[in-house]
Amino acid sequence: MHCCVLFASPRGKESNTRALTEEFLAAWHEAGNTASFHSLYDLAISPCLACRGCQWDWSAPNCVVEDDMQAIFTDILAADLVVLASPIYNWGPTAPMKAALDRCIYALCKFYRGTGEKGPSLWEGKPIAVITTAGYRIEKATDLWEESLRRSCKHGGMRFLGLYGERHRSYTEPFMDEEKRERTRAFAQSIMEQL
C-alpha cells in the first residue's frame, strides 16, 4: 500500500509532529508499505482563489493554480492512505495545511458549479488519518480540527480513520520518549487494520 503524507510544521527536523510521523512511517514501512512525504512549508502551496475553474472538469482536479499542489493532487488520488500531519496553531492546522485542504475540498469535490448540478467526489472512500501535537491538554487542543475534518470527510465521502495527538509540554525537554513511540505504533497498527 502507498501512503501520501502531508506534513506542515515550520520546525523541520526539530518538529514534534515530525517525530511522531517518522515513528508512524517506520511502522508503515516495516509492514512492507511505501510512502511519499510532502513537507508543505518547503513547497509552493497557494491558497484557493475561489475561481471555481476546477468545477468544469469532473474527471480530474483541474486546479488553475500551477504550483506544488498539482503533484500532491496526483499523489493523493493514487494513495491508499492520506496522512495529515500538522501541529495545532490557533485551534486548527497550520496555514499551509489549511491552504492544501482548501484546495483539495474544491478541486477534488465537484459540488460547486453553482448551477444545481452535483458532480462526483474524486476522493470518495479515501482513508484519512491525522497526526498532530499541541501545547494544551490534547482533547481541548485538537477537538475543533478533528471535528472540522470529520465534517469534511462526511461531505466529500472520505473515510476518517482517526486522529492521534500528543502534548508538547516544554521546549527545554526532549519531546519524544518510549511511551510516545509505543502509542504512535499502536496508532499505526490501528490505521493499517482499518485499510
CB of 7 to ligand FMN, least distance (A): 9
CB of 39 to ligand FMN, least distance (A): 11
Q: C-alpha cell of 184?
A: 504512535
Site residues (CB under 6 A) for ligand FMN? 9, 11, 15-18, 87-91, 133-136, 141, 168
CB of 3 to ligand FMN, least distance (A): 19
CB of 9 to ligand FMN, least distance (A): 3
Give the residue with the Cβ less far from ligand FMN, 90 or 115.
90
CA distance 167 to 180: 10
Sign of CA dihedral 75, 77, 79, 85: positive
CB of 39 closer than 8 Å to CB of 9: no
DSSP 8-state code for residue 48: P
Give the residue with the Cβ less far from ligand FMN, 16 or 55.
16
Give the residue with the Cβ less far from ligand FMN, 156 or 165.
165
CA distance 134 to 87: 6
